[in-house]
Amino acid sequence: MLYDNLFIRLERARWQLSSDIDFDAIDPSLLTPQWRSDLRHICLTELSALYATEMFIRDFYADIDFCSFISIWFYEEMKHHLVLRKYLERCGEHFEEAELPSLRLTFAPGPAIETLTMHFCGEQRLAHWYTAFSHEAPEPVLRHVFKTLAADELRHAACYAKYLRRAVTNKPDCLRDILKMALWMIRSTNDAPKHPTTVTDPSVVGQLEDPEYITRMLNWYLPGRDHERPVQRRILALMSELSGDEMETPRDLLRVIRVVEQRTPAPAAA
């Protein structure tokens, strides 16, 4: 079981809310009204780990190993929501618990391997966004918080990658679906960003007061068409490993998909 080793590795790297974030050093005067608003939205978006966990436990019901790992992922992701909420509370912002149920979502069932691939890509992208926010945030403690969260997201992506490797080893035919979902996720823009919280219908961010906040923040803090290259590079590195075919661009990925489709048997007729 991958869970056994992942538990130890993630526990060794885990940061402590009570000691690694210096809440007493926060300077609320440095946080602009726009940053307060955007930070509230990021905090509420992180709450979606609850909805995703329900989905994982449902759709991966027979995979005890992966569901065990999700217990760690859920804990660490909800800590992201908590640290952002505690930060905002130190800045005089408060959340009404009675309003939170209005954000609840139940994700529709989907193919497990595509869900796994989407979340691998999503963690890579969110780490990229949080790294940018850590550079641009106006307050030092907030910069440290975003840097800390970005490192968590990269570790989570590495865990998803392990489960994708196991899936291809156990069932090579699933490689086609992994590659196709990766290509779809790679094709992301600032005006239509692809992340598990943005692509469902309804989406997580669509439930928020300002559903365009991600697009606005990306256009401000990650302008330009080429900023996604680090995300693409990390996704393509894993796709290259899984397929045994080196890929450096989305076009290379499309080429490999066509090759894999030619050699993968068509599904049996119902």
Alpha-carbon gap, residue 163 to 154, rounded angstroms: 15
| 99: its two tokens | 């309003």
State the chain's mean pLDDT as an integer.
Answer: 95
Helix (H, G, I), strand (E, B) or coil at 75: helix
pLDDT for 252: 97
Report whether 165 contacts 117 (CB < 8 A): no
Helix (H, G, I), strand (E, B) or coil at 173: helix
pLDDT for 224: 85
pLDDT for 161: 98
Which pLDDT tens digit goes with each residue over 82-116?
A: 999 999 999 999 988 888 888 889 999 999 999 99
One-character DSSP codes across 201-214? SS-SGGGSS-TTHH
Burial 46-81 (b: 16+ CB within 10 A, else e): bbbbbbbbebbeebbeebeebbebbebbbebbebbb
Alpha-carbon gap, residue 89 to 87, rounded angstroms: 5
Look at residue 215 and tell me whether its pLDDT is greater than 80: yes
Percent of the chain whose pLDDT exceeds 90:
91
Which pLDDT tens digit goes with each residue over 156-211?
A: 999 999 999 999 999 999 999 999 999 999 999 999 999 999 999 999 999 999 99
pLDDT for 270: 38
pLDDT for 143: 98
Handedness of CA 70, 72, 78, 84 (dihedral sign): negative
Which pLDDT tens digit goes with each residue over 58-91?
A: 999 999 999 999 999 999 999 999 999 999 999 9
Handedness of CA 51, 228, 186, 189 (dihedral sign): positive
Which single residue is written with the structure tokens 């569901």? 67
In angstroms, the Cα distances linking 226 to 110, 122, 146, 189 are 31, 18, 22, 10
Looking at 2.60.40.180, 3.40.50.2300, 1.10.620.20, 3.10.180.10, the CATH number of the domain 29-263 comes to 1.10.620.20
